[in-house]
Amino acid sequence: MNSDLDTTLSYGKLLRSRRINRGMSLEDVFRKTKVRPNILNLIENEKVNELPSELFTKSFLKAYAEALDFDSQKIIALYQSELNNTSKNETQRGHWTIIRPPYWLCIIIVILCLITGYWLMLQNNSDPLPKNVNTMINKNHIDHKNNLSNASSINQSIQKQLIDNSNKQENVPIGKKESIVSEKLSLIIKAVDKTWMKITVDEQSPREFMLRPGDSLKMEASKKFEILLGNAKGVQLKLNEKSIEIPEDMGRVVTLTLP
């Protein structure tokens, strides 16, 4: 068995060089060793990671080396040295290996993040009102009910004033009484504070006004005036030159029907 090896060559190159020098093909080696040509090709190209386990590879190297009259132990030693170097390099590279997830996995993660964000946005939009907001709404509802109650009592007070005026008119002589009945209703409104109001004259469409201190309105009606005041003490009212008192605090909403 030839033990003269060129130590400058690796085990794969040595085996290939000897096989070619002897004019043998991989099929020829296969017939002698029963090692399949694809395994022989991996050995010659030193594809360590694609070869079978170390135990089987060493048995294949031994058979291949003996078929070419090589010292099989020296070939196996070269293989072992190469294997150790490869393992060492892989270990060193492993400290610097950056593991990147597959591209499709990144896309799925992005889509899931978008869906989660959209779901959270919907949850925030559908959250119930904070406790303090509910308290404000309840307070406003109570104030509105109080305003309506106050408006009703105020309206009753004004109606009483008008009834008293009507009773006084019954003592007027017949000629004067007929002239008073046929007289149109005249309403004079003078603003003393900033206020909003809506007035319906007879059965006409309502009209809205925003009055400032000093503004005044004069309106006439055949039957009645319906008034919605945003500020009870914001105006002074005169119906047919008679003052109408509004017994309510500043800033209250008031509904009036005159006469």
- Rounded Cα gap, residues 15 and 40, in angstroms: 10
* Residue 95: predicted pLDDT: 43
* Residue 85: predicted pLDDT: 83
- Rounded Cα gap, residues 22 and 4, in angstroms: 16
pLDDT, tens digit (0-9, with 9 covering 90-100), for 90-125: 555 444 444 556 777 889 998 998 999 888 988 877
pLDDT, tens digit (0-9, with 9 covering 90-100), for 178-223: 444 457 899 899 999 988 889 899 989 999 999 899 999 899 999 8
Spell out where the chain has E strands: 185-191, 195-201, 207-211, 216-221, 225-229, 235-239, 242-244, 254-258
**Neighbour count for residue 24 (Cβ, 10 Å):** 15
What the block records as the tokens of 129 is: 């009102």
Q: Could you tell me which of 233, 245, 194 has the C-alpha nearest to residue 215?
A: 194
Does residue 250 surpass a pLDDT of 60? yes
What's the mean pLDDT in 72-94?
78
Q: Assign 48 a pLDDT band (cuts: 50, 70, 90).
A: confident
For the chain, domains (ranges, CATH) are 1-126 (1.10.260.40), 156-258 (no CATH)
How would you class 228 by CB atoms within 10 Å of its CB: exposed for 0-12, middle for 13-18, buried for 19 or more?
middle
Q: Which has the minimum average pLDDT: 23-37, 51-65, 176-190?
A: 176-190
pTM for this one? 0.35
What's the mean pLDDT in 63-78?
92
SS3 164: helix
What the block records as the tokens of 130 is: 């904070």
Q: Which has the minimum average pLDDT: 7-11, 13-17, 150-154, 219-223?
A: 150-154
* Residue 4: predicted pLDDT: 55
- Rounded Cα gap, residues 206 and 219, in angstroms: 13
Inter-residue contact 247 to 154 (CB < 8 Å): yes
* Residue 179: predicted pLDDT: 47
Q: Which has the minimum average pLDDT: 30-39, 46-55, 91-100, 214-223?
A: 91-100
What's the mean pLDDT in 245-258?
78
Does residue 79 surpass a pLDDT of 70? yes
Does residue 14 surpass a pLDDT of 50? yes
Inter-residue contact 5 to 74 (CB < 8 Å): yes
* Residue 180: predicted pLDDT: 44
pLDDT, tens digit (0-9, with 9 covering 90-100), for 128-153: 544 554 555 455 555 555 555 655 66
* Residue 98: predicted pLDDT: 44
What's the mean pLDDT in 77-85?
88
